[in-house]
């Protein structure tokens, strides 16, 4: 996607940092190509080069062992493009679950959340709650490589669909 059209950001850690004894609050990324910095810094330099930029935050929750969850999609309150991405992603997951597990159903939701990463990401952002690591049924979503790959493929499809809507 790095062909002058699309840039997707992922985050390695979030929080309050001190750099050269200066307080710094940000959404940090670190990779071999760009080094280390914040998503917002990278976005400021990239937004003129790319027509479509999004931040995607993946999270695995830890609830009681009995709490099985579906995949949830969150966006920042008032973020038109974040909500559009979240709804499109949910629709993609619903279609995929209907096809691959027709009797299962899909109960994932879309909602606005006041999460730090959503409120402080300059590019439109999506927070994906992938499931509950304590629940043995949800664990299969993360432990079995084919299931992890399916999640990644479905998210890719959702992002491509969202990109096409924004053209």
- Residue 122's pLDDT is 86
pLDDT score of 42 = 77
* Averaged pLDDT, 80-106: 91
Per the rule left: phi > 0, alpha: psi between -120 and 50, beta: everything else, 42 is alpha
The Cα-based distances of 115 to 47, 75, 97, 102, 163 in angstroms read 23, 9, 27, 33, 24
Rounded to two decimals, the pTM is: 0.78
The confidence score (pLDDT) of residue 166 equals: 84
83, 157, 130, 107 alpha-carbon torsion, rounded to 10°:
70
What is the DSSP code string of 13-50? EEEEEEETTEEEEEEEEEETTTEEEEHHHHHHHHTTT-
C-alpha dist (Å) from residue 101 to 26, 93, 107, 128, 136: 40, 11, 13, 20, 18
Q: Could you read off the pLDDT of 37-62 as tens digits, one per residue?
A: 577 877 887 778 777 888 888 888 77
pLDDT mean over 6-32: 44
Q: Which residue has the higher pLDDT, 15 or 131?
A: 131
Give how far the C-alpha of residue 26 lies from the chain's centroid of Cα atoms, to the nearest Å. Answer: 17
Task: Please give the structure tokens belonging to residue 76.
Answer: 């920042």
Task: Name the pLDDT band for 12 (thresholds 50, 70, 90).
Answer: very low
Inter-CA distances, 6 with 49, 104, 122, 127, Å: 9, 34, 15, 18
Closest CA to 41 of 17, 25, 56: 25
Q: Is the pLDDT of residue 71 over 70?
A: yes
Q: How are beta strands 125-132 and 52-61 bridged, if at all?
A: parallel
């Amino acid at each position: 996607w790095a062909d002058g059209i699309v840039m997707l950001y992922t985050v390695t850690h979030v929080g309050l940092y001190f750099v050269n004894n200066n307080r710094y609050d940000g959404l940090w990324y670190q990779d071999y190509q760009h080094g280390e910095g914040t998503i917002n810094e990278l976005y400021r330099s990239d937004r003129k080069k790319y027509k479509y930029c999004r931040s995607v935050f993946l999270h695995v929750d830890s609830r009681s062992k009995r709490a099985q969850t579906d995949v949830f999609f969150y966006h920042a309150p008032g973020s038109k493009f974040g909500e559009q991405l979240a709804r499109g992603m949910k629709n993609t997951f619903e279609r995929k679950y209907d096809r691959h597990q027709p009797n299962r159903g899909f109960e994932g939701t879309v909602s606005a959340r006041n999460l730090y990463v959503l409120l402080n990401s300059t590019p439109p952002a999506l927070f994906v709650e992938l499931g509950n690591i304590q629940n043995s049924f949800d664990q299969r979503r993360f432990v079995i490589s084919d299931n992890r790959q399916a999640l990644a493929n479905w998210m890719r499809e959702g992002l491509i669909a969202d990109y096409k809507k924004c053209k």
